[in-house]
Structure 1
Amino acid sequence: MKNLTFNKKILLIIIFSIGFSVLVSFLFIHYLYSKLYVSSIEDSIIHQGKRTASHYHYGELSDEIIEKIQWYNVVSEYEIIVVDDLDELSSYFPYKINYENLIDSHDQSELEEGKYVMKEGFVEELNREILGAIFPIKGDQGLIGFIYIYVPLEAIQDVFSDSIPILLIAGSLFFCFFFLIITRIWKSMFKPLQDLQRLSDQVSIGNYSDIIQTDRQDEIGQLIKAFNQMSLSLGQLEERKKEFTSNIVHELRTPLTYIGGYTEALKQKIYTSPEEATNYLATIQKETDRLSKLINDLVDLNYLQENSYSTNMEPIAIAQLLFDTIDLFEIHIKEKKLHLKLDIEEDLVVLGDSHRIHQVFYNIIDNAIKYSLSSGAILIKLKKVNKAVQFQINNDGIGIPKEDIERIGERFFRSDKARNRTTGGTGLGLSIVKEIVRLHEGKFTISSTQSTGTTITIQLPYLDIEGAEI
């Protein structure tokens, strides 16, 4: 059974159902025969036998009475035999039922006690079943005779002879209708499943473009829609993987090319002055630092995305942490002649990992400065909004295209790919920021237009002064 395919199992179930229906129909007809037809004959025999025997209580079984009974035998549908003694019954037909004598010792005892005895069985001479009964006739001095009433039973096919054509026609129509229904259900169930099997084969070899069109709303329809969505998601994931591989190869190739080229130049002493050699060494150092930062950021991001990672949560005076982070960029702000505006509430407390929150501030402020225009403005806000501490930073640099907004924060994704060398970024900073915010059960949003610049908003759960998280 385990080796059978699903459709073969369903076919076996259908065949079993049909067989079961036929069996139930047979049993039902047999029930009608045995319980209704035979029972009605038995009740009639008992009623007629008792009635006949009761006419002769306390009388004698005279020739006149026997003649009346025999006359009744002629006009009745029953065969009636009247005898004075039980031994005489053995000489009347049928004298054997089921190939055994009509009367045995137990039957004789019952009759002598005044009870009637039912007889049912096969009679060879008639080649059919009979149903009968023997009734004792009482006189003044006890039993004076016996009445034997029996009737040959019609065969079951004879009983239902008038109904069989109707049953055959109704049965044929039923099975034709049943076959049509099963065929429709078969196609309805297995055609989508076969399509799913075909699609799964395509997915297994890396083809994620095919989908199954369906307007079904049942479980199979929901399964198809879920599979379509899974296929599309796998396709998108595959594209992202290819892009990720391409990006990381690109990120590694350029610094390695610089390092290899300048190292070979220094090794071959291909330079014109000590200053040029020093510049080569500086470039090697710069590209080495870039590689180191790239590897560290990748390790850090993977570490943050592991389900087993847990933050070191503690109450943080977040305003002071923000001020300390801003101080680290004082030189860069002066170099680009940026105008820094601060709107910070200084008594705010959050429950979080101070090292990771500092990492969030550092990456976001670093990006805001890198992508600001010279002599531009940066606005930093830190306020309590409802039940959250909201950090917001805005710069008036070049805006991010609308189609790139949703992808900000993906690994290695840069909206302006031409700036990756001048800014020195790895394309992982915002990915790390989003993971840290997620681990703190916060929210990260970004908006950007050419007129207002780019705004990043982060909300973290607020902690009241008693240390209870709101």
Structure 2
Amino acid sequence: MKIKQLSLNQKVLSLLIISVVMAIIFSFLFIHFLYKDLYIRSIKESLIYQGEQTAAHFHYGSLNHEIKERIFWYNVISPYEVVVVDKLDELDQFFPYKINYEDLISKEDEKQLRDGKYVMKEGYVKEFQRNIVGAIFPLGNQEELIGFIYIYVPLAEIPEVFRKGIPILVIAGALFFLFLYFGIRYFLKTIFKPLREMQAFSKEVGRGNFSKRVSITSSDEIGELAMAFNKMAQSLEQEEENKKEFLANVAHELRTPLTYIGGYSQILLDEIYHSPEELKKHLHLIQKETKRMQKLINDLMELNKLEDKNFKLTKEPIVLSQLILDSLELFQTSLKQRNIKLVMHLDDELIIYGDHSRLKQVFYNVVDNAIKYSYQNSQINISSYQDGSFAIVAIQDYGIGIPANDLNRIGERFYRTDKSRSRKTGGTGLGLSIVKEIMLLHDGKMDIKSEEGKGTLLLLSFPIVE
């Protein structure tokens, strides 16, 4: 059987009820403490004091009629009931009641009295219908006992003791609970409004709607929670937009090569060609577009791997100049084909800490871009130098450059400044995105400065090994 969970509102109300019950229990215990520990204790102390003072005046002679008259007169003017007798047996005549349904004097009490010590008597008396507190004191000297005095007083009930205080407690309690009620009501309204909004909004988020926001009416923890919720919604909305843009870009990138492949494949199936050379040309185009799709998929997988939080680099100390030279060996053919001169000024003393294969991938991508977008018969300058605690690698080409409006978007997935030219060069718009991710993993950064028609300067910054 599934147990129904309480809502937050019900939990708060339950907490309020428990608090009220605990307050009532505490008040009862506190009043009981005042009654038992303070009121009764003060009565006992007063009885003992009065009894000892009275007994101190009768330590000689006998209890004559005059002395008894004085004691009886004291009985009239004092709040206590006072009984004086010559013998213990006579107490039953003046106090013929049982305390807690037991005899007034036990054998143990009698022994204690004859030893000159007083005896406290406390308990319920049926005839009075209430508790009493009393004490029996022996009268006499060290040689003999001349009598006994019994002082007792019926105890007032709790309502009687606190007759004046109870109305004050009732009024104060009523005001307190009214204040508590309106305070909790306002508190619940303040808290649950944004929470209800978040509850409703979370359902919208579950349906894929990230456009709504929770109203922030306070700066407390609930306000901070609402702010965090709005940031989360904004992040999810951005992620959703990026996802849609990513899917649209992938679809766009795949549509053209698939169209080429489908079209030329149909030509070959229908044998609509006139010579073996034309057949070979069609097959070459199909192969080219297939490689293009393979590169796109490989770049996407590579970028996804680099963005994975669990991805780890294999870092080691690397001589930066040697890494650059090793990377440039792959471009000797491309440089010759386009008659591009490569000028290098490298600092052999610079050592960085990083993943050799990944950094080689960085230089491959940036140099490949520099060659592709340079004019023929032009020049590319590559230099490395130290700037503070960073090693800087500068790659300067003198090619088509990048429009100023596009500079801020360089490094975004699939972003290309010239889509038609990128198709000719085989670019996917992911190369610099991969470079950017690898640089971040090495605590470095990539900066680009460019002027359209004059070339591009790309700067790579790496922390130096001290």
Q: Give, in whole Å, the separation in 1 of the partners of 2:200 and 2:7.
A: 16
Select which of 177, 180, 184 maps to 1:178: 180
Offset, 1:377: 5.5
Select which of 452, 460, 463 maps to 1:461: 463
Offset, 1:384: 2.0
After superposition, give the CA deviation of every residue in 1:280-300 in whole Å (9 maximum; x if it has no partner).
122112112212222222233
Q: Give, in whole Å, the separation in 1 of the partners of 2:158 and 2:326.
A: 103
TM-score (norm 2): 0.90
Offset, 1:130: 1.6
2:148 is matched with: 146
Give yes or no for contact 2:402–2:417 (8 Å, CA) kept in 1.
no
Select which of 276, 279, 282 maps to 2:281: 279
TM-score (norm 1): 0.90
After superposition, give the CA deviation of every residue in 1:443-465 in whole Å (9 maximum; x if it has no partner).
22334454865432211233xxx
2:169 is matched with: 167
Give yes or no for contact 1:376–1:397 (8 Å, CA) kept in 2.
no
Offset, 1:406: 4.6
1:432 is matched with: 434
Q: Give, in whole Å, the separation in 2 of the partners of 1:311 and 1:361.
A: 17
Offset, 1:374: 5.8
Quick one: which amino acid aligns to residue 295 of structure 1? I
Quick one: which amino acid aligns to residue 186 of structure 2? R
Deviates more, 1:269-278 or 1:371-380: 371-380
After superposition, give the CA deviation of every residue in 1:33-57 in whole Å (9 maximum; x if it has no partner).
2222222221111111111111111
Give yes or no for contact 2:97–2:127 (8 Å, CA) kept in 1.
no
The yes-or-no answer on 1:294 pairing with 2:301 is no
Identity of aligned residues (%): 50
2:55 is matched with: 53
After superposition, give the CA deviation of every residue in 1:263-320 in whole Å (9 maximum; x if it has no partner).
2212221023333222212211211221222222223333334455444444444324
Select which of 201, 215, 218 maps to 1:216: 218
Quick one: which amino acid aligns to residue 268 of structure 2? L
Instruction: Describe the shift of the 1:39–1:266 C-alpha distance in structure 2 as closer, same or farther (beyond 3 A).
Output: same
Q: Give, in whole Å, the separation in 1 of the partners of 2:74 and 2:349.
A: 119
Select which of 130, 137, 153 maps to 1:128: 130
Offset, 1:136: 0.9
Select which of 243, 246, 249 maps to 2:248: 246
Q: Give, in whole Å, the separation in 1 of the partners of 2:235 and 2:188.
A: 30
The yes-or-no answer on 1:371 pairing with 2:368 is no
Q: Give, in whole Å, the separation in 1 of the partners of 2:393 and 2:459.
A: 6
Give yes or no for contact 1:398–1:453 (8 Å, CA) kept in 2.
yes
1:443 is matched with: 445
Select which of 70, 76, 80 maps to 1:78: 80
Give the alignment's Cα RMSD to 1 decimal: 2.6
Quick one: which amino acid aligns to residue 15 of structure 2? I
Length, aligned pairs only: 463
Quick one: which amino acid aligns to residue 267 of structure 2? A
Offset, 1:140: 7.1
Q: Give, in whole Å, the separation in 2 of the partners of 1:154 and 1:7.
A: 45
Aligned counterparts, 1:32-431, within 5 A:
32-139=34-141, 141-326=143-328, 328-329=330-331, 332-333=334-335, 341-372=343-374, 378-395=380-397, 396-402=399-405, 404-431=406-433
Q: Give, in whole Å, the separation in 1 of the partners of 2:344 and 2:224.
A: 52
Q: Give, in whole Å, the separation in 2 of the partners of 1:91 and 1:325.
A: 123
Per the alignment, in what secondary structure is the counterpart of residue 93 of structure 2?
A: coil
Instruction: Describe the shift of the 1:163–1:311 C-alpha distance in structure 2 as closer, same or farther (beyond 3 A).
Output: closer
Instruction: Describe the shift of the 1:163–1:427 C-alpha distance in structure 2 as closer, same or farther (beyond 3 A).
Output: same
Offset, 1:376: 5.9
Quick one: which amino acid aligns to residue 31 of structure 2? I
Unaligned runs of 5+ in 2: none
Quick one: which amino acid aligns to residue 253 of structure 2? E
Instruction: Describe the shift of the 1:368–1:119 C-alpha distance in structure 2 as closer, same or farther (beyond 3 A).
Output: same
Unaligned runs of 5+ in 1: 463-468
Instruction: Describe the shift of the 1:117–1:415 C-alpha distance in structure 2 as closer, same or farther (beyond 3 A).
Output: farther
Quick one: which amino acid aligns to residue 402 of structure 2? G
Offset, 1:190: 2.3
Per the alignment, in what secondary structure is the counterpart of residue 324 of structure 2?
A: helix
Instruction: Describe the shift of the 1:406–1:138 C-alpha distance in structure 2 as closer, same or farther (beyond 3 A).
Output: farther
Give yes or no for contact 1:363–1:433 (8 Å, CA) kept in 2.
yes
2:31 is matched with: 29
Question: Runs ≥4 in structure 1, deviation > 6 angstroms?
Answer: none
Q: Give, in whole Å, the separation in 1 of the partners of 2:350 and 2:70.
A: 121
Q: Give, in whole Å, the separation in 1 of the partners of 2:316 and 2:33.
A: 81
Instruction: Describe the shift of the 1:93–1:415 C-alpha distance in structure 2 as closer, same or farther (beyond 3 A).
Output: farther
Instruction: Describe the shift of the 1:89–1:414 C-alpha distance in structure 2 as closer, same or farther (beyond 3 A).
Output: same
Q: Give, in whole Å, the separation in 2 of the partners of 1:32 and 1:150.
A: 21
Give yes or no for contact 1:81–1:147 (8 Å, CA) kept in 2.
yes
Give yes or no for contact 1:434–1:444 (8 Å, CA) kept in 2.
yes
Quick one: which amino acid aligns to residue 115 of structure 2? E
